[in-house]
Structure 1
Amino acid sequence: MSSCMWAARGQMLALESLEQAAQCIGTSRLGGFQMSAPAFNLWIQVRGDGWIESREGRFRLRRGDWMAFEKESTPLVQSGPQGLCIGIVLDSSALESMQSLSDANLYAGRGRLPARELRTLFRLWREAAHSDGGVLPVRPLLLQLAHVQRDLAARVRRCPGRSRNRKRQVFGRMQRAHMYLEGNADRVVRISELADLTSFSSWYFSKAFHALYDESPQALSVRLRLERAALLLRTTSMMVGEVAAATGFDNCCSFARAFKSHHGVPASRYRATSRASHGLAVNEVHALA
């Protein structure tokens, strides 16, 4: 008996409740899942690309990307035409069992996996997906995922709070705010929005965020928007003014100053240099073929 649910070839499924404490799910070839069950969920893009829409924003997934969400996020996950995305959904009892058995935990966030680690996780996921269900068969997968998140776990100790549980609670809220900034890199995000999202006061949120990430939420927002602008310049034919508007800048002048200050060159030169470098790389590949 398999504990895996699968959506493929344009099929859209809704996961409204968990039949067991841990559930393996997967999408491929334009398949998708709408998470309605209030449960922690983590996704890994194994092949191709995909998209996730959640309360934190909209995210593009490429091979090797992973994303994890708290139960309040209820994301919609969809694979691209050649995409393969695997997921694991855990209820609170599964998370508590994992923590009590191994003193490990999983957190909301996102990151990238090297190829070797991606292969390991995919193998462990397949083994868990073809088990009889329950927490024990997925425990090796969960421990490997906790290892992937070791950098996040190290940050928990920097959170305010007297107890470890309190630090974890604060960190979970901060991570959600961080992801919200990443998922809304097309506009200016106000501190009041982030404070409401985390249920903290604006003063407390700003102080805790800076202490945790060594960067203010305002500075991170600008940096993420400028990184998105660079991506749009490299991968689209949008005019510079359109890129400025698509990244939340009021006018081209403020965008031009911010872009040059961050990237070291004007936006137009950045685009020309990126295209020239791309053309050179393609020519080198053709020469070696």
Structure 2
Amino acid sequence: MRQLFWADRGQSLSLDHRVDEGAVSACMGAARLGSLQTSGAAFTVWLQLRGSSWVEAKEGKFRLHRGEWIAFEKESRPLVQAGRDGLCIGVSLNAEALRTLGELADCGLYAGRGRTTRHEARVALRLWRDGAQPDSGTQSLRPILLHLASLQRELLDSVQRCPGRSRSRKRQVFGRMQRARLYLEGNSHRVVRIGELAELANFSSWYLSKTFQSLYEESPQALSARLRLERAAQLLRDTDMMIGEVASASGFDNCCSFARAFRAHFGTTASRYRDAAAANLPPESAKSKGDSRKTSAAGRT
């Protein structure tokens, strides 16, 4: 059984008490300031087709732009708020639907985010429309499931690298690691403690750190720091916030620690990075400009 939920023009919907118990999936959509919150009993996947949307979930807050997808495990209960010109479509899948995918393609779906090509987005929209028809049967669920699995095909190699003697154990570990990674992405405005990630993934801090490093070739602390600096760079490009405000909004205690970390990562100061962005120049030009000033100063001395 399939259901359709649509929030448009500022309308707000919650699926907690709307999804029938017999429904294996639901097609969802939010557009033009519409907002929709999914049930905590289903795996959900959202795809941004136009404009942008904000997504708030247990893993944090995310901004979706055109062509990006994001997936959440059960209990995440994501709230999707479409932008003024935004259009975001999604599907909600229960345990039966996920088992069907395992039988069809011997794979699973995982929390995370990524990008689609234009062709993939068009196919997703067509399959979503087909599945949203009132008379669509359970057979129409198969193409949607297989397409969602194809969007996550780059994750398959990572699953095989996870510790575990059985395939099911590897998938379980990878699913928890993906959720921990998503949590870091959704909390790029602050420092995330290892204990938070361990509690979320239901692993010890030691096991999570070791597995995370092995899987993503980057420690949770290093990824958190990089995401915070990338957030700072985005704020410098897209807002008029003062540099001190950017530092605070990116989880840095003071401007000095922010300045050191930003220069070490981008090779230039935050102010020069902003100047280069305002002039539509690549960040490397800001670095070159700073280096040339040092050279000139050295020559005068």
Q: TM-score range by the shorter chain?
A: over 0.9
Name 1:235's counterpart in structure 2. Answer: 238
Offset of 1:101 from its aligned partner?
Answer: 2.2
Q: Does 1:137 align with 2:133?
A: no
Distance (whole Å) between structure 1 residues aligned to residue 25 and residue 85 of structure 2:
27
Tell which has more relative contact order, 1 or 2 (C-alpha 8 A, sep 6+): 1
Equivalent residue letter for 1:46: L
Match of 2:249 among 246, 249, 257: 246
CA distance in 1, matches of 2:147, 2:39: 26
Which residue of the partner structure matches residue 206 of structure 2?
A: 203
> Residues 169-222 of structure 1: CA distance to partner in whole angstroms, max 9, x if unpaired?
111111111011001101100111111111111101100110110000000000
Match of residue 39 from structure 2: 36
What's the offset of the Cα at 1:149? 0.3
Where do 5+ consecutive residues of structure 2 fail to align? 282-301
Aligned equivalent of 1:117, options 117, 120, 123:
120
Distance 1:178 1:136 in 2: 33
Instruction: Render the CA deviation track for 1:7-42: whole Å, top value 9, x for unaligned.
Output: 111111111253310111111111111122410000
Gapped regions of structure 1 (runs ≥ 5) = 279-289
Cα deviation, 1:248-274, whole Å, max 9, x if unaligned, reads 111111111111111111110000011
Q: Deviations over 1:118-144 (max 9, x none)?
A: 112111111111153454202112211
Secondary structure of 1:68's counterpart equals strand
Larger radius of gyration: 2
Kept in 2, the 8 Å contact 1:131–1:137? The answer is no
Instruction: Give the Cα separation in 1 of the matches to 2:84 and 2:120.
Output: 24
Structure 1 segments (4+ residues) deviating >4 Å: none
The 1-side partners of 2:63 and 2:237 are apart by 16
What is the DSSP-based 3-state SS (H/G/I as helix, E as strand, rest coil) of the residue aligned with 1:157? helix
How do 1:61-72 residues align onto structure 2 when only pairs under 5 Å count? 61-72=64-75
Offset at residue 71 of structure 1 (A): 0.7
Q: Where does residue 225 of structure 2 map in the other structure?
A: 222
Q: Does 1:257 align with 2:265?
A: no
**Over the residues paired in the alignment, what is the CA RMSD in angstroms?**
1.5
Task: Please give the TM-score of this superposition, normalised by the length of structure 2.
Answer: 0.89
Question: Percent of pairs identical after alignment?
Answer: 60
Tell me, what secondary structure is at the counterpart of 1:126?
A: helix
Q: Distance in 1 between matches of 2:83 and 2:10?
A: 10
TM-score (ref. length: structure 1): 0.93
